Amino acid sequence: MTKYKPKKKSSLDTDNPILKRLDVFNFASDAYFGKQVYICGNPACQGLIMFHKKGKRPVVCKQCGEEIDWEGEFVRRIKVCPVCNEEYEMADSFCYFHTPKVELKEREIEMR
């Protein structure tokens, strides 16, 4: 299964001032009520992905069924020492507090 990065819903691209105002109002009301609005990153789909800010994020697009890659938006990858739980960047391989060497384990952490 392919993972696609979602795109933040951008404002409507139109010259019609009435449609622009309606779109701005719609975007503001979504934010006020806690809705997160994205567009599926699958070029063949482009469906809307909507969920409540405090609810669960969808794992797949409900229109095309492809997996949504939230890394960078809501998920960050780090490496952690399994012995002392010290956190490291992804480029690091070993904890510098232990002898003999202890290999770091990759972990995803939620960003909210």
CA distance 84 to 98: 9
CA distances in angstroms from 97 to 9, 50, 76, listed in the order given: 44, 44, 23
pLDDT tens digit sequence for 67-87: 998 887 778 889 999 999 999
Q: 96 pLDDT exceeds 70?
A: yes
State pLDDT tens for residues 5-52.
Answer: 777 766 556 677 776 677 666 666 666 677 888 889 899 998 888 888
- What is the pTM for the complete model shown? 0.56
For residues 80-112, one letter each, b for 16 or more C-beta atoms within 10 angstroms of the residue's C-beta and e for the rest, the string is bbeeeeeeeeeeeeebeeeeeebebeeeeeeee
Q: Token pair 């809307």 is at which residue?
A: 48
Query: Using an 8 Å Cβ cutoff, are 73 and 112 in contact?
Result: no
- Spatial neighbors of 76 by CB under 8 A, at least 6 apart, are 108, 109, 111
Taking Cα atoms as reference points, which of 28, 49, 46 lies closest to residue 38? 49
Task: List pLDDT tens digits, range 52-66.
Answer: 888 888 999 999 999
Residue 88's pLDDT band (cuts 50, 70, 90)? very high
pLDDT for residue 11:
56
Q: How high is the pLDDT of residue 31?
A: 64
| Closest C-alpha among 42, 48, 52 to residue 10 | 48
